[in-house]
Amino acid sequence: MKQLERVFKALGQSTRLKIIFLLNEQELCVCELEHILGLSQSAVSQHMRILKGADLVNEERKGQWIFYSLNKAALSSELLGCVNILENGLKAEGKMLREVESLQRLREQPIVECRVTPEAVKAAGGEDNKGCS
């Protein structure tokens, strides 16, 4: 029962729901999540700590970057279905439009150590001219 409480608590916050939706699409590193969500590294890390504590995400270190993916093995088919319904609702309301567009632009970037480069941020209209470090 405690695990179920952690899952629902983790999913009860809109930013963490967005992260789950994004990770349902593809594996992302912290700096990509920062870019897509417009959050600081510390804010993203805090959200990821909660999602990891609820066993909703997998973490993999690749060099100096940490990549996250959705832990589909830990999600029941019913819970994954609920996540998909919520995602479709947010998309229909236009509440994830910016995030979906940012994710699509990242998919077009060549896969290197980190797909977010200063050039990619600038091209996407961002003001932050730093890449992952």
Which whole number is the average pLDDT over 61-83?
Answer: 83
Considering the segment(s) 2-123 as one domain, its CATH architecture is Orthogonal Bundle (1.10)
Model confidence band, residue 19 (pLDDT cutoffs 50, 70, 90): very high
Q: What are the residue boundaries of the structural domains of the chain, listed by start? A: 2-123
For residue 129, pLDDT beyond 50: no
Give whole-number Cα distances, 80 to 17, 52, 57, 85, 119, in Å: 12, 16, 13, 9, 35
Average pLDDT, the chain: 80
Q: Is the pTM of this model over 0.75?
A: no
Residue-wise pLDDT for 94-120, tens only, equals: 777 778 788 887 777 744 556 555 565
Share of the chain above pLDDT 70, in %: 81
At 57 the three-state DSSP class reads strand
pLDDT band at residue 50 using 50, 70 and 90 as cut-offs = very high
